Structure 1
């Protein structure tokens, strides 16, 4: 139940209401804490895929800090676009933006083992994809028919399935440790399991902000555990802190700027998925916080802000931004609909993004500890997709569409050499798994007649023809 001392019930439902500053600031920081780790994790994953050195003495260490810094800075800037708006850009709602997990399966093949040199093409794709995403705002309402729960649920599930391998690799010691005695050791797994169990404990046995921040608390406990068992020397923490600057501004085109067909196509196609996700988040915020339906103007403004925020981030070395679903649940929990509360959170994120020392501390989190956190987070992505699929009527037509799309997408993801003779740009898109699965699902859904046969509504094996309803999890 909302704390009515913050304001009257009518005020709490008003996005334009500003609670007293002494209450608004902690409420805003609460929003940041709920998404903080999830926001910086994609930068660490992409850096690891590119082959960056993670130690404080590595020549790539400053680059990794910069990527983490940009993740925080432009999440804050994109959030400000949503809350305070700039012309038609922004929904004027309490929408928290952050680095999108959806694009990771596209980014990993683009940078795999190529180091810093691969980032110019990557960020070129981010900029073009962001501009394309903004353009989707002009017709978002007219394309939703092509993206029913069958398609969106499949895509979200595929995103999670593409990422779970990363979580297991991190928990075992990270890809660089493969083939060594340390990889998969009991010590490595103990750190990951501490994070998982603490996260589950707070998620299900705590209340309020403690439950919302379960992953963050789990990582903090895992961090302390790693220090106690000797996985993380305190000298590494002090070295990371001392080697990072106290203040630094973003640098435009820091990594150069290139246009790659694979990057541009990949980011543009995934923009559709991100746009649909934002529509769902906006609808959830307005319904849960104000008890009404989202207007076309709000949905359009939110989509514009998604795209513009992503394009701006790409210019300075930041990754694609999207609305964060866990904060939708937080608004429903607190009952505070004020966009100005989230504005305070955005300012806090921007301050963090301008202080590289914060990124230096984040980077000292052992990869095994991070693995425990991302196993939970990526598992939740899969669960969200399955929850969305529960809204599908599982007749024979939809079963065939799902089966073909999943088989091809997941199969190419597991066996990338099957398309080794394709042009490089097309091969990168195909082995992501997500884009071929989404394309097949969309095309078949539009092309196949609704009544596939006279038996299309009969129960299929296992009783899967039932039509279930389920809300998307808060995080």
Structure 2
């Protein structure tokens, strides 16, 4: 339609609403994505024990590439980009793999492996039509479930004050963390409108104020940070290690499954139609491209943001102008180091209290995906075995201490890799039997036993 009304409608992907209408709606997406974007680099830098300046630099470049990757998805460059109302940025799903690689090979090892991971994403995008049926809900759900479970130790460590902190486990840390969590819960469950969507930021704000009064906030990094800086290519270097590359490729392929689900939810929930192959392929190609380019500047791998998908499905607001404003905000914020420095002053207990619920939600999302499939003996075997082996090795890494070093990193560094390999392999090997087939099989066994 080409009417004036449709051209300014927020319910039209190509609609161009006035700023007075678009900005408040864009704020919802900014609030939903901002903390996820800055928290991941903070966690990764903590795992590799990098200096403060590296932490601020990673936050900046993560913001910049979150903006860039989102704009690619909204407006597309050739085949790159889905041209759908989707937000992309650095995702929590990568955290266990990134921290495992980082603790072994540092930031340069992460970024080198990320190049291969981005290539793997693009290959998935090119062959989407042929391989889409290889990742049914039981496989994707098993992996997402393990992602959530593997993040709990990070959240609890932060709530206690940050591993290695002299005050680790102190009652004050737990008090601040639990207070932050209570604010998040109250706002998310008892408030409405923009405030409800901003529950995590409300919790962080409350926890931050209490931390300041308790003397736990150091504002000196803000004073020392400049007002403007530009990202430098290869500032952290690139190193290529086989074990790191294998782990990263697997998690990037697994994350592509999540992207497929998020883009499908966007079109079904927000646009009342199914996702077409071109959009899916473009989304995966665009995500892989931004991940590869980001590697050369220090940006961590990007993925679709499920929380923003939920906003689109709930509001039906699909104008790309609304989402583009959020992307531009992230882009501009990334060039202002003082903003990144402000994020580094958030105490660990506040971060832990604000994110533990997010990690729990990831776990429940995995369960919801699993039960989309029939809970047949076959599917229960896939889910239970991938969960048992992945979390078992993760809980007791010394069990594989005599394996080659490369294999130790691949299997023990991230439970997601084990879960993905087991779920994917079993899905290919095990006979496909529905609940009806299994019931018939039991009936036949009963007949034979009674003869």
Q: TM-score, normalised by structure 1?
A: 0.88
Query: Residue 421 of structure 2 corresponds to which residue in structure 1?
Result: 439
Equivalent pairs, count = 438
Deviation by residue 1:369-398 (Cα, 9 ceiling, x = unmatched): 001012111111111111111213222222
Equivalences for residues 74-473 of structure 1 within 5 A: 74-112=65-103, 118-177=106-165, 180=166, 182-232=167-217, 236-237=218-219, 239-431=220-412, 432-451=414-433, 456-457=438-439
Distance 1:90 1:299 in 2: 9
Task: Check whether the contact 2:44–2:95 (CA below 8 A) recurs between aligned residues.
Answer: yes
Task: Check whether the contact 2:111–2:298 (CA below 8 A) recurs between aligned residues.
Answer: yes
Distance 2:317 2:433 in 1: 45
Task: Check whether the contact 2:139–2:382 (CA below 8 A) recurs between aligned residues.
Answer: no
Task: Provide closer, same or farther for how the CA distance between residues 397 and 38 of structure 1 changes in structure 2, counting only shifts above 3 A.
Answer: same
Query: Residue 448 of structure 2 corresponds to which residue in structure 1?
Result: none
Does 277-286 or 445-454 show the bigger shift? 445-454
Task: Check whether the contact 2:26–2:323 (CA below 8 A) recurs between aligned residues.
Answer: yes
Distance 2:234 2:196 in 1: 40
Structure 1 residue 422: Cα displacement: 2.1
Query: Residue 473 of structure 1 corresponds to which residue in structure 2?
Result: none
Query: Residue 465 of structure 1 corresponds to which residue in structure 2?
Result: none
Distance 2:43 2:249 in 1: 21
Structure 1 residue 231: Cα displacement: 2.5
Distance 2:252 2:427 in 1: 19
Task: Check whether the contact 1:106–1:266 (CA below 8 A) recurs between aligned residues.
Answer: yes
Task: Provide closer, same or farther for how the CA distance between residues 28 and 396 of structure 1 changes in structure 2, counting only shifts above 3 A.
Answer: same
Structure 1 residue 444: Cα displacement: 1.2
Unaligned ranges ≥5, structure 2: 443-451
Aligned-residue CA RMSD (Å): 2.1
Distance 1:439 1:9 in 2: 47
Distance 2:392 2:10 in 1: 48
Distance 1:213 1:458 in 2: 51
Does 73-82 or 101-110 show the bigger shift? 101-110
Task: Provide closer, same or farther for how the CA distance between residues 151 and 354 of structure 1 changes in structure 2, counting only shifts above 3 A.
Answer: same
Structure 1 residue 9: Cα displacement: 11
Distance 1:304 1:15 in 2: 21
SS of match in other structure, 1:137? helix
Does 389-398 or 69-78 show the bigger shift? 389-398
Structure 1 residue 333: Cα displacement: 2.8
Distance 2:62 2:94 in 1: 14
Structure 1 residue 459: Cα displacement: 13
Unaligned ranges ≥5, structure 1: 1-5, 53-59, 461-475
Q: TM-score, normalised by structure 2?
A: 0.93
Distance 2:315 2:381 in 1: 42
Query: Residue 19 of structure 1 corresponds to which residue in structure 2?
Result: 17
Runs of 4+ in structure 1 over 6 Å off: 452-455
Structure 1 residue 7: Cα displacement: 5.7
